[in-house]
Amino acid sequence: MKRRAFAESLAVAALAPMLGVPAEALRLDPGGPSEARPPAMPDGAPASGSRALPLALALTEIVRLRYGSRLRVEDLTAITRQIEAGLERADLVREAELSNVAPLGAAPQHGG
């Protein structure tokens, strides 16, 4: 099992009680997010089955560890959805061609 997949499996195991499902229901494929099977989800839990979902669940666990005392299960569910949407945006960013010679741009250019 790769390190990232291992971390995700730990995170999912911790998150499962918050989402009210057995950890088995959220178990990830050891191949990582790109090979993950759509997990079985309860009503009200993230149910997109997208490739981003396993990583979204892992990142939700970071949020839970940092701020969990203030967050309800339904909050965590909503946060997972938001993270998942963000990861899908990030996927689009990663798919775009980018040369390593481009300088890091901290702000928009003003070419006009």
Provide the token pair at 112. Answer: 């006009």
Residue number with CB closer to other proteins (40 or 47): 47
Q: Minimal distance in Å, beta carbon 45 to other proteins?
A: 14
Distance of alpha carbon 3 from its chain centroid, rounded?
Answer: 16
Look at the block and give the residue holding tokens 């839990």.
45
Task: Pinpoint the alpha helices (H) of the chain.
Answer: 3-19, 53-67, 73-95
Q: Is 2 in the site for other proteins (CB under 8 A)?
A: no
Give the footprint of other proteins on this chain (CB under 8 A): 59-60, 62-63, 66-67, 70-71, 74-75, 78-79, 82-83, 85-86, 89-90, 92-96, 98-99, 102-112
